[in-house]
Chains A and B, each alone.
Chain A
Amino acid sequence: MKLKADWSFLRDAVRKAIRRLEEKDLTHAEAFFTYAKTTEVTIRNSQVLTQNRVDDSGVGFRVAVAGNKVGFACTNVMSQEAILEAGEKAFSIAKVSSEVPHFMLPQGSSPPKVKGLFDPAVAAIEVEEAVDRANRAITAAEGFCKRVIAKDGRFLYESEWRGIMNTSGVDFEERGTRALAYLGGSGKQNGEVTSSCYDLMLKRSADLEPEKLGENVGKKIVDLLNPKPLKSFQGSVIFGPEAVSYQLFDVLTDALKGDAVFAGSSAWANKLGQTVASENLTVIDDALLEGGFASRSFDGEGSPSHKTALITKGKLVGFLHDATSANALKMRNSGNASRFPGGFDMIRSIVGQGYRTRPEIYPSNLTIQPGDKTRDELVSEVEEGVLVESMAGFPQAGSGVISAQLSQAFFIQNGEIQNPVRGGMVSGVAFDWFKKISQIGNDSKRFPHAIVPSLLVEDVKIIGA
């Protein structure tokens, strides 16, 4: 099989480069390398737009020389010469770099087995099959209600090898597959267009369900028809899983990153062991979850994966670490060095992910422990408030300040949903909201790096349009 032969060539060439680097005057050298094939069908304006196939492979070297000076270089030119040259380049950059305090790479300890990360059916997917599923998702969404327009979407099947080697004995590889379906749409009524709604399906196996995806999107859009303006008030807000997975997740993640804790820029830098949230809130990072979208047996620098308690009943009990931040803070490495982090980063957007960048600290599957209340039960407990399924905008870095426009939200009065809202914002500090979580739903949903339920937060500032 060609893929296997190409992978073997890459691995052997990388091994040779690591051996060559070992002979130099350096303290650490590491290579992260991948070989991936992606088949993707895109949807635009109610149609299958195009079919793409992307093959990509490459290797990124990190080298540290005396004084913890670190350099990085990568290449996707798959010749022994180019790969050796990239290793050399990382070494020469390290020499003109400056100290990364407490820089460390993992020692080679064997990673655990994580189940459900590879499905041969994803690797063998035929494009005709992907086109068929994409088309069925469009039909299901637009068949749900004639006002629904399937605006954009994608069905993506990826098959990947990833490998890591370093000069401290790390030498691991893992094969994985991912299948992702996304569909976004909006509704037209009386010349007015609703906000965009989307639904997402993330799997390690090929069994994406296009009808379910399409119907979910259709239902979300129909629920938004006939919106009314919202008044300004202070009330309860139910943040649905999607709303939690963006802004609230970002604030939580930024405060939990070990490097930010060490630098003192995390709002929770000095709060380990203290209560930082409502006692209803328990958060773990679980890279071992069977079939989890971000599950893996080792992280982006070869540290074994773990399940890590972060917040237990409102008390801060742990942080997200890579080898360097764990070394700096003298804590256990949680294995959160990520080569495919989420969130927006300008540099990563320009250079790319995976072998093209050094790793950074990011959650694997950040999991908020679900409660026992259904969505309807949460709504029934709200006297006056808003259900926010989705909101637009970014939290302010560091401070946790969120002022977000409501893009998919509903007014609640006397324990019942009254109407969808047009416009309006919620505003406040997410760290305060975490302390005011009164209930948690049992409706957890999967996102690329999060598995989160609805959160009912009391006393939130709601600004009408």
Chain B
Amino acid sequence: MKILEDCLQSEMVNQADLVQLRGQRRRLVACTIKNGVVNDFSSISLSGGSVRALVAGRSWGFSSTNLLDARNVEQMLRHAIKLAKASLKLKHEEIALEPVPVVKRDETTPTRKPLRDVPMEEIVEIPREAYRGAKEVGANVADIKATFMTIEDDKFFLSSEGSRIHQSSTRVLLFVDVLAKRNARFCPASENLGHTGGMELFDKTSPHSLGKTVAEKAVRLLDAKAPPAGKFHIVVDPTLCATMLHEAIGHPLEADLAMSGGGFGNQMGQPVSSELITIYDSGHTSNGLGFFLFDDEGVECKRTNLIEKGVLTSFMHDRTSAALANVSPTGNAHAWDYSVEPLIRQTNIGIEAGDYSLEEMIEGVEEGLLLEGTFGGQADVNADFTFGFQNAKRIQKGKLAEEFQGANVAGNAIEVFKTIDAVGREAILRPGACGKYQFALQGRIVPAIRCEMMVGGAGGR
């Protein structure tokens, strides 16, 4: 990335208070097997750079290009400065950035089974194995889609403050989606594996067993009825808990969203959740899909406690939001790739494990539901949410009873988290993704929780 180093020596840099340059090389391989056929087998090779400039202490401009030659890189810097100046007359608030340590690091995330050793012929066998595992479940398996994906990243960060950071990492993902069908009845199920690391992802769960598990669930649910509708005492499994945590609690804890009103705004130091709940975000969680040593402003991604025993202690910040809130940045400025500007993002968000085994959580429910799996969903900044779960089990007098198909849960997450009366003793690392203005892969470290929540099923109670 000498070309970016040269750019930083340009006289134009002096027109800005701060210039941050990023460069990236990314190689992706994606292979999808759909119903036994290679539906997509792609190799994607990308590179590019971007520059972000702060001008007159008030206004940022950003420009990116895939054309990394001297002419285009210089033009990119010129654009960023021009763009920053374009809104100066509207910007009245000073952004007094807290100085951050100058970092000179060259880091490669260690992997036990590196991707470079895996030939294309073997890559195609991974989703095919997941397909076979699902297919073996039987004739009711109508539609199977398995996608294996590898992402290799080389990221460079250079700033006019002096930081020079190179981070290299690999991520591996497997997605399995199954649709079971009997007569006119359909039932979907899905599950994902993913981490920052290499092919050791499959040491614990093989692609074949993942495919089988998902298909068995979809077929089993064909016989299940829709769940009852209404408000229930609910045990939420870690997978659904991960979606709730990220979407409905995590987003309102991002400083840019917190400052937009509603949610957790103006409640710093106040109790906002059940006192059983401690929530944190940490880029340093080993193997998390959101594993980063440094963010895209060169700030270290250390653990930040967001809620401690129910009390709001911090938001997630980038340097700008931290300056405006008069706190230190938390390493949450992340860009999906070189072409887009860093935003405040979660890395690996977690809930500290509690004291309960799953059995104990179920035993404590007189009449309620255990909800499992997620189909994702949506949350508003006021923490109102709707999430899909994949299946449910009735809990009666502390024991599991019949199984139901998936439906949605809805409510306000802040209200729901106040009702949490038990937290599971085992927090597991889950893969996650987020589409806040741009894409991101993230980790979630989640136990099961027990709370009160509204289920919107198609059946009556």
Give A73 to B259 CA distance when docked, in angstroms: 42
Contact code string B446-461 (vs A, CB < 8 Å = 1, else 0) = 0000000010111000
Q: How far is the CB of A4 from chain B (nearest CB, A)?
A: 15
Give A47 to B259 CA distance when docked, in angstroms: 12
Give A292 to B460 CA distance when docked, in angstroms: 44
Interface membership of B100, Cβ < 8 A: no
Give A407 to B83 CA distance when docked, in angstroms: 36
Contact code string B382-402 (vs A, CB < 8 Å = 1, else 0) = 101110100000000000000
One of A74-82, A209-217, A297-305, A315-323 contacting the partner? A74-82
Interface membership of A112, Cβ < 8 A: no
Chain B residues lying within 8 Å of A194, measured Cβ to Cβ, are 382
Is A350 within 8 A of B439, CB to CB? yes
Give A233 to B455 CA distance when docked, in angstroms: 16
Chain B residues lying within 8 Å of A72, measured Cβ to Cβ, are 40-43
One of A15-23, A92-100, A116-124, A333-341 contacting the partner? A92-100
Given contact pairs A74-B45, A397-B179, A403-B457, A100 touches B38 in the complex (Cβ within 8 A) = yes
Chain B residues lying within 8 Å of A137, measured Cβ to Cβ, are none
Give A427 to B456 CA distance when docked, in angstroms: 8
Q: How far is the CB of A185 from chain B (nearest CB, A)?
A: 9
Give A35 to B71 CA distance when docked, in angstroms: 17
Given contact pairs A52-B341, A188-B261, A93 touches B42 in the complex (Cβ within 8 A) = yes
Q: Which of A324-347 contact B (CB under 8 A)?
A: 344, 346-347
Give A392 to B247 CA distance when docked, in angstroms: 13
Which of B36, B45, B124, B142 gathers most chain A CB within 10 Å?
B45
Give the contacting residue for B384; candidates A41, A48, A350, A407; CB below 8 A.
A407
Chain A residues lying within 8 Å of B91, measured Cβ to Cβ, are 47-48
Give A55 to B339 CA distance when docked, in angstroms: 8
Give A357 to B175 CA distance when docked, in angstroms: 18
Chain B residues lying within 8 Å of A265, measured Cβ to Cβ, are 142-143, 179, 181
Is A398 within 8 A of B186, CB to CB? yes
10 other contacts beyond A47-B90, A396-B388, A423-B410, with CB at 8 A cut-off? Answer: A45-B259, A51-B86, A53-B63, A56-B65, A78-B66, A93-B43, A265-B142, A346-B175, A356-B44, A397-B177
Interface residues of B (CB under 8 A from A): 28, 30, 32, 35-48, 60-67, 72, 76, 79-80, 82-84, 86-87, 90-91, 120-121, 124, 142-143, 147, 149, 151, 175, 177, 179, 181, 185-188, 229, 256, 259-262, 339-341, 375-378, 380-382, 384-386, 388, 406-408, 410, 433, 435, 437, 439, 441, 454, 456-458
Is B410 within 8 A of A89, CB to CB? no
Interface membership of A107, Cβ < 8 A: no
Given contact pairs A53-B62, A55-B72, A193-B262, A347 touches B83 in the complex (Cβ within 8 A) = no
Give A401 to B28 CA distance when docked, in angstroms: 34
Given contact pairs A347-B32, A394-B376, A405-B384, A54 touches B38 in the complex (Cβ within 8 A) = no
Closest 5 CB pairs of A and B: A193-B262, A51-B83, A405-B386, A399-B186, A76-B66
Give A99 to B35 CA distance when docked, in angstroms: 12
Is B262 within 8 A of A186, CB to CB? yes
Is B380 within 8 A of A52, CB to CB? no
Chain B binding surface SS class: strand
The size bracket of the interface on A is: 35 or more
Is B63 within 8 A of A52, CB to CB? yes
Task: Kindly report which residue of chain B lies nearest to residue A152, judged by CB atoms.
Answer: B260
Contact code string A349-360 (vs B, CB < 8 Å = 1, else 0) = 111100011100
Contact code string A174-202 (vs B, CB < 8 Å = 1, else 0) = 00000000000010100001111000000
Chain A residues lying within 8 Å of B256, measured Cβ to Cβ, are 44-45
Interface membership of A71, Cβ < 8 A: yes
Chain B residues lying within 8 Å of A349, measured Cβ to Cβ, are 433, 435, 439
Q: How far is the CB of B265 from chain A (nearest CB, A)?
A: 9
Give A344 to B84 CA distance when docked, in angstroms: 32
Chain A residues lying within 8 Å of B72, measured Cβ to Cβ, are 55
Contact code string A103-146 (vs B, CB < 8 Å = 1, else 0) = 00000000000000000000000011001000100000000000
Chain B residues lying within 8 Å of A86, measured Cβ to Cβ, are 45
Which of A44, A57, A149, A401 gathers most chain B CB within 10 Å?
A401
Is A263 within 8 A of B378, CB to CB? no
Task: Kindly report which residue of chain A lies nearest to residue B263, judged by CB atoms.
Answer: A193
Given contact pairs A51-B87, A135-B90, A344-B435, A76 touches B61 in the complex (Cβ within 8 A) = no
Is B380 within 8 A of A51, CB to CB? no
Give A226 to B457 CA distance when docked, in angstroms: 27
Give A351 to B121 CA distance when docked, in angstroms: 21
Give A130 to B433 CA distance when docked, in angstroms: 31
Chain B residues lying within 8 Å of A89, measured Cβ to Cβ, are 43, 45
Interface membership of A50, Cβ < 8 A: yes
Is B90 within 8 A of A48, CB to CB? yes
Interface membership of A70, Cβ < 8 A: yes
Give A152 to B436 CA distance when docked, in angstroms: 12
Is B44 within 8 A of A74, CB to CB? yes
Contact code string A196-230 (vs B, CB < 8 Å = 1, else 0) = 10000000000000000000000000000000000
Q: List 18 A-B contacts (CB under 8 A).
A: A42-B437, A51-B83, A53-B79, A58-B66, A93-B41, A93-B43, A128-B86, A149-B260, A186-B261, A186-B262, A188-B261, A267-B186, A351-B28, A393-B410, A396-B375, A398-B186, A403-B408, A405-B385
Q: How far is the CB of A92 from chain B (nearest CB, A)?
A: 7
Give A407 to B377 CA distance when docked, in angstroms: 13
Task: Kindly report which residue of chain A lies nearest to residue B79, judged by CB atoms.
Answer: A53
Give A194 to B64 CA distance when docked, in angstroms: 36
Q: Which of A255-285 contact B (CB under 8 A)?
A: 263-265, 267
Interface membership of A13, Cβ < 8 A: no
Give A149 to B259 CA distance when docked, in angstroms: 12
Q: Which of A348-372 contact B (CB under 8 A)?
A: 349-352, 356-358
Task: Kindly report which residue of chain A lies nearest to residue B379, judged by CB atoms.
Answer: A392
Is B388 within 8 A of A393, CB to CB? yes
Chain B residues lying within 8 Å of A94, measured Cβ to Cβ, are 41
Is A100 within 8 A of B39, CB to CB? yes
Interface membership of A445, Cβ < 8 A: no
Give A396 to B457 CA distance when docked, in angstroms: 12
Is A186 within 8 A of B382, CB to CB? yes
Chain A residues lying within 8 Å of B37, measured Cβ to Cβ, are 98-101
Q: How far is the CB of B280 from chain A (nearest CB, A)?
A: 25
Task: Kindly report which residue of chain A lies nearest to residue B47, judged by CB atoms.
Answer: A77
Interface membership of A66, Cβ < 8 A: no
Interface membership of A428, Cβ < 8 A: yes
Given contact pairs A186-B382, A196-B381, A358 touches B47 in the complex (Cβ within 8 A) = no
Given contact pairs A51-B86, A100-B38, A405-B386, A394 touches B377 in the complex (Cβ within 8 A) = yes
Interface membership of A382, Cβ < 8 A: no
Give A350 to B174 CA distance when docked, in angstroms: 13
Which of B44, B46, B377, B439 gathers most chain A CB within 10 Å?
B44
Chain B residues lying within 8 Å of A42, measured Cβ to Cβ, are 437
Give A350 to B83 CA distance when docked, in angstroms: 28
Given contact pairs A393-B408, A394-B376, A407-B384, A50 touches B40 in the complex (Cβ within 8 A) = no
Give A224 to B48 CA distance when docked, in angstroms: 44
Interface membership of A309, Cβ < 8 A: no
Task: Kindly report which residue of chain A lies nearest to residue B231, judged by CB atoms.
Answer: A465
Give A465 to B231 CA distance when docked, in angstroms: 9
Chain A residues lying within 8 Å of B437, measured Cβ to Cβ, are 42
Give A41 to B83 CA distance when docked, in angstroms: 9
Contact code string A385-400 (vs B, CB < 8 Å = 1, else 0) = 0000000111011110
Given contact pairs A97-B41, A193-B382, A51 touches B435 in the complex (Cβ within 8 A) = no
Chain B residues lying within 8 Å of A344, measured Cβ to Cβ, are 435
Q: How far is the CB of A232 from chain B (nearest CB, A)?
A: 8
Q: How far is the CB of A116 from chain B (nearest CB, A)?
A: 29
Chain A residues lying within 8 Å of B62, measured Cβ to Cβ, are 50-53
Give A96 to B381 CA distance when docked, in angstroms: 46
Give A73 to B30 CA distance when docked, in angstroms: 10
Give A92 to B339 CA distance when docked, in angstroms: 29
Interface membership of A417, Cβ < 8 A: no
Give the contacting residue for B375; candidates A267, A351, A394; CB below 8 A.
A394
Give the contacting residue for B179; candidates A71, A77, A78, A398; CB below 8 A.
A398
